[in-house]
Amino acid sequence: MTKKHLEHLFQSFEKKRVAVVGDVMLDKYIFGKVERISPEAPVPVIDVSSQSYRLGGAANVATNLRSLGATALLFGVIGDDDDGAILALQLHKEHLSADFLVTEHTRPTTAKTRVIAQNHHIVRIDSETRAPISSATERTILALLSEHLHTLDAIIFEDYNKGVLTATLIKKIIAMAKKHDIPITVDPKKDNFFEYKHATVFKPNLKEISDALGRKFSNSDSDATLACDMLQKKIKAKNIVLTRSEKGMTVFNGKAEHIPSMALEVADVSGAGDTVIATLTVALSAGLDITTAAKVANLAAGIVCAEVGAVAVDKQKLFSACTRYFSSAPTS
C-alpha cells in the first residue's frame, strides 16, 4: 500500500460504527515503591505514590476503536456499585457512551486491581463474578443492540468468561447479524469457545486453542496450521487469526499465512489482544483483506506492547508503522 492509500484507509476508519458486546472491566493501578518487608508477614510493603483507573476487557476494545477514529457502541453489564460508577466516568472521559451498559444489582462490576512497584507487577486483586447474567438482562442487551443494528459495520464479541456472553445471547446476536449481513469478529475464551460458529473472524491465542481442542500445540508454524485446520472444521469460521505471542500470528482460511511479530520492545502484553481485535475489525470493515488487516493489527499490537498496562493504540503511531512496513514489505 502506498502512503496515499494508507491515508485514505485511516480516514475511512472515522466512518465506521462497531458494536462491542462482552465483559467490561475496570482496571485499577496502584503504583509505588518497595523498600522493606512487612514485620507482620514475609510480604513486601508498597509505599503508594499514585493510583489510576483504566478501561479493561470489552471497554478497552471500545477505547481502541475510539482511538482509531471509529464509533464504538459498548454493550455489557456493570454492578450498582462504586466501581460501576467509576467505569462509567472513565468511559465519559474517553468520549464513549455508557448508555448501552445494563446494571445488574445482584452482581459486582468486574474490577482488577494491579499493584506495581519499580515497574514490577507485585499482585493482582480481582473483584468479579462469573455467574451468567439473567434472562432479563439478556433481553435488554438484545433490545438495545437491535435498535442500532442497521447502523453497524461490524460486531465484536469480547469474551472473558465473566458471564455476560451466554450461549443464548451469542446465538441470538449471531442470528441477528447474519440476517443483516453484519461481519462478526470474536475474541473467545474457553467456556463458550464452540458457540461462535460461522463467525467472520475467530481470534484465539495458542493456549486457548490448545485448551479448547484438548491437545497441546507447540508454537511452531506447522502446529499452528494444524490447530487452525482442526478448529476450522469445528466452528466453520470464515477466517481464523491465531495469535502466537513472540511468533506473531497465523491467518487461516483454508490455507495458512504466518505473520512475524512486530513488537520491537515488550514492556507489557496486557490488553494487546483487545488492540488486535479492534484494529482487525476496523481494518476489515474498511475493505482490507484478512491478511493485510491482520498485518495492520499485528503492528498495532507491537505498539501497545511497548507500554505498561492496557493502553489504546495511538492512531498516528500506527499510521507511521504501517507506512514504514508497507513501503518495504509486500501486502500478501
User: Degrees (nearest 5) of the Cα angle 17, 308, 314?
Assistant: 35
Q: What are phi and psi of 149, to 5 degrees?
A: -60, -40
Q: How far apart are CA 34 and CA 64, in angstroms?
A: 33
Which domains does the chain carry?
3-26+58-111+129-328 (3.40.1190.20)
> 274 an active-site residue?
yes
Hey, CA dihedral for 324, 327, 330, 332, is it positive or negative?
Answer: positive
DSSP SS3 for 116: strand
pLDDT of residue 266: 46
Q: Are strands 71-79 and 17-22 parallel, antiparallel or unpaired?
A: parallel
Which amino acid belongs to residue 305?
Answer: C
pTM value is 0.92
Contact 51, 31 (CB under 8 A): yes
DSSP SS3 for 185: strand
Query: Which one from 23, 99, 274, 314 is the annotated catalytic residue?
Result: 274
Q: How far apart are CA 280 and CA 16, in angstroms?
A: 13
List the beta bridge partners of residue 9.
Answer: none
pLDDT of residue 103: 97
Tens-digit pLDDT string for the chain (332 aa): 788 999 999 999 999 999 999 999 999 999 999 999 999 999 999 999 999 999 999 999 999 999 999 999 999 999 999 999 999 999 999 999 999 999 999 999 999 999 999 888 899 999 999 999 999 999 999 999 999 999 999 999 999 999 999 999 999 999 999 999 999 999 999 899 999 999 999 999 999 999 999 999 999 999 999 999 999 999 999 999 999 988 889 999 999 999 998 755 544 445 688 999 999 999 999 999 999 999 999 999 889 876 655 678 999 999 999 999 998 765 44
Q: Which residue has the cell 494508507?
A: 6
Cell of 4: 496515499
